[in-house]
Amino acid sequence: MYGLCALAGVLIVITLADVIYQLANNGSLAISHFGLGFITSTEWKPGFSKEGAGALLFGTLVTSLMAIVLATPLGIAIGLYLSMMAPVRVRAIVGPLVELLAAVPSIVYGFWGLVVLVPFVDGLEPGLHSALGFIPIFGPASPVGISVFAAGLVLTVMILPIISALTRDLFLTVPVELKDGAAALGATQWEIIRGIVLPTTVSGCASAVVLGLGRAFGEAIAVSFVIGDANNVNKSLFQPGTTAAARIADQFIAPVNPLHLSAMFYAGLLLVIIGMLTSVAASTIAGRFDVTQRVI
Amino acid sequence: MSATSETAFFDTMPFDPTAPLTPSGNLRRRAAVSRTVQVSATVAALFAVAVLVIVLFGVAKRGAAALSLSFIFENPSGLASGGIFNAIIGTVEIVIAGALIALPLGILTGLYLTEFSGARSRTARLLKLALDMMAGLPTIVVGLFVYGLIVIPQHRESGFAGAVALSIVMLPIMARTSQEVLLLVPNSLREAADALGVSRWRTVLSVIIPAATAGIVTGAILATARAAGETAPLLICNSLYAQDSTSLNLFHGVPSISMFIYQSYDLPLPDAVTRAWGAAFVLMMLILIANIGARLLLARSRAKMRR
């Protein structure tokens, strides 16, 4: 029995190692052809055997950062509401509802994003551009609304339940004596949050945000529906772009030549390395908190 | 002497203990800040629920047009008519095959973490990190991995490859939930078995697993629900062709609901888009029902364990 259990554990570690090996092995053609220049080159012309992941990584970073910037304050606010403010009955209903946001499949988010969100964004962008156009990220709008901005919004919705559920659990671990003590000294609820709850859980919250970031980095299908698969490095959020994961989803089924296929494995390898680093970072930051990709 | 000083005191600071407390300006400001935070947190929660309702309602409204009994129970005919029965069966096949791989491994890993290694031991921490990394693998990369592992050597995209990919998606979830549930099994049960001289593996098989069954099952349901909605690994590992008939051979391309949606939206036919919405609605309902059911079960078994 012990042997079997240990074997299962070993198998998991081997699988992880094999993931790296398979990606590196199948991407070896691109790795030897492009070397590390792949990471910085922004050209992606499969027909001319020129592939570079610069634009992909840029898009991955921009969409994920946008999602994190929007989802972190929202998610932590929801976590606070569910752990400290909501009446118990409301908690029991709203908590699972927020978690259900994470159960909606990514293809549904993608399809919904394309048909519902993109037209909405299309109506939103000109206004944002004319009001905030002096900031480079709110540049000229794309004609149809398919844009990095739309992808960022979809990702926000997808990682919001992760951050809010994780932080809610964290806030519930804050000892009630500390909170009651602060309240007895006359602190308002905000002062309890600001002075007790957030400082004691700050490392856990940071770790939850990093986990959300990791999820945003790797989302392929939902993003590929709304971002437009354009090899684009653009300051404006309102232009189409792509991410590493979305590019693989868009082009993997019909590679132009072996190098093209191999380049996508190379991009996948970069994605895995980033993903593993975020996992390690999340568990390192978390410190004493047992923050993990929980089932939601 | 004392009388004059007392009157002087009350003259400068009139204090009436029976008067209601009135907040000073500073306290009013603090209360207002706190109030603002409370209101914005409530609004944030409402926003999240509103997004859920908007997504669900949007899919339901558009999907309802395509929905009928024949849509669910018939195979597709022609380019954009007929039902999605084959895709539903295909999704069930792939997901069950994946669960059959992931479930034993997940339970064994959970058992290792709780029964056979200290929670703080180095191997346990390493294994937890490995599980976190596995859970953090982008699903599209899982697809690439299985493509390299199975599809290239076999020279064939297959439902089996898709099932293996989904098992990798499910495994960390199953391991984590099993671990969580096994931790809830009261230690007195283990000690009682030890006191009777029962060997560890027997304790595990006849005491601990039966006590944790409900929790493990709900974990399995949650994991399968999660995997059922995955598209990226199937897009890469499972064949795009073979979408029109029910396929019971896992070693060939097997149709699935998520791939049906992915492909239908590409077809330049209004009917195809309606059918994609219908399929999205079916998929979402299956997943949400499984999720809600599993959560209710989990809450019940947790309450039972804690008692």
CA angle A162, B60, B169 (to 5 degrees): 35
Residue A292: its pLDDT value, please? 62
Q: The domain spanning residue B109 has which CATH number?
A: 1.10.3720.10
Identity of the residue in A106, A112, A214 whose CB atom sits nearest the CB atom of B231? A106
Residue A31 domain flag: no
Residue B119: its pLDDT value, please? 63
Give the residue numbers spanning the domain of A137: 52-286
Q: Does the pLDDT at position B1 exceed 50?
A: no
Residue B135 domain flag: yes
Q: What is the three-class DSSP state of B76?
A: strand
Q: Which residues pair with A50 in a beta bridge?
A: A45
Distance CA B237, CA A54 (A): 26
A71 touches B: beta carbon within 8 Å? no
Distance CA A53, CA A43 (A): 8
Residue B202 domain flag: yes
Confidence of residue A45 (pLDDT cuts 50, 70, 90): confident
**Closest listed residue to residue A241, CA positions, set A223, A265, A257:** A223
CA atoms in the 13 A half-sphere facing the CB of B189: 18
B232 touches A: beta carbon within 8 Å? yes
Distance CA B60, CA B295 (A): 22
Q: Does the pLDDT at position A65 exceed 80?
A: yes
Count structural domains, chain B: 1
Confidence of residue A83 (pLDDT cuts 50, 70, 90): very high
Confidence of residue B2 (pLDDT cuts 50, 70, 90): very low
Q: Does the pLDDT at position A153 exceed 70?
A: yes
Residue labelled with tokens 């947790």: B302
Residue B13 domain flag: no
Confidence of residue A127 (pLDDT cuts 50, 70, 90): confident
The amino acid occupying position B282 is: V
Structure tokens at A286: 């978390």
Pairing of strands B81-82, A50-51: unpaired
Task: Please give the backbone phi and psi of residue A95, each rounded to the nearest 5 degrees, phi first.
Answer: -55, -60
Distance CA B53, CA B59 (A): 10
Q: What is the three-class DSSP state of B189?
A: helix
Contact between B174 and B204 (Cβ < 8 Å): no
Enumerate the residues of chain B whose CB falls inside 8 A of the CB of residue A101: 48, 51-52, 55
**A271 vs B45: CB contact, 8 Å cut-off?**
no
CB neighbourhood size of B48 (10 A): 25
Residue B306: its pLDDT value, please? 65
Q: The domain spanning residue A160 has which CATH number?
A: 1.10.3720.10
Residue B126 domain flag: yes
**Which residue of chain A comes nearest to B223, CA vs CA?**
A295
State the complex-level ipTM.
0.89
Residue A172 domain flag: yes
| Single pTM value for the model | 0.89
Give the residue numbers spanning the domain of B166: 69-306
Contact between A225 and A111 (Cβ < 8 Å): yes
Q: Which residues contact A67 (CB under 8 A, 6 or more apart)?
A: A152, A155, A156, A158, A159, A212, A216
Q: What is the three-class DSSP state of B35?
A: helix
Q: What is the three-class DSSP state of B6?
A: helix
Q: Does the pLDDT at position B167 exceed 90?
A: yes
Enumerate the residues of chain A whose CB falls inside 8 A of the CB of residue B47: 74
The amino acid occupying position B22 is: T
A198 touches B: beta carbon within 8 Å? no
Handedness of CA B43, B45, B51, B53 (dihedral sign): negative
Residue A16 domain flag: no
Distance CA B111, CA B208 (A): 9
Residue B12 domain flag: no
Residue B82: its pLDDT value, please? 77
pLDDT (tens digit per residue) in B229-285: 888 998 888 877 656 677 777 787 788 888 888 888 777 787 888 888 999 999 999
Residue B26 domain flag: no
**Closest listed residue to residue A111, CA positions, set A215, A241, A221:** A221
Residue A184: its pLDDT value, please? 92
Contact between A106 and A225 (Cβ < 8 Å): no
A88 touches B: beta carbon within 8 Å? no
For chain A, give the mean pLDDT: 88
Q: What is the dihedral of CA B300, B302, B304, B306, to 10 degrees?
A: -150
Count structural domains, chain A: 1
Mean pLDDT calculated for residue range A218-236: 87
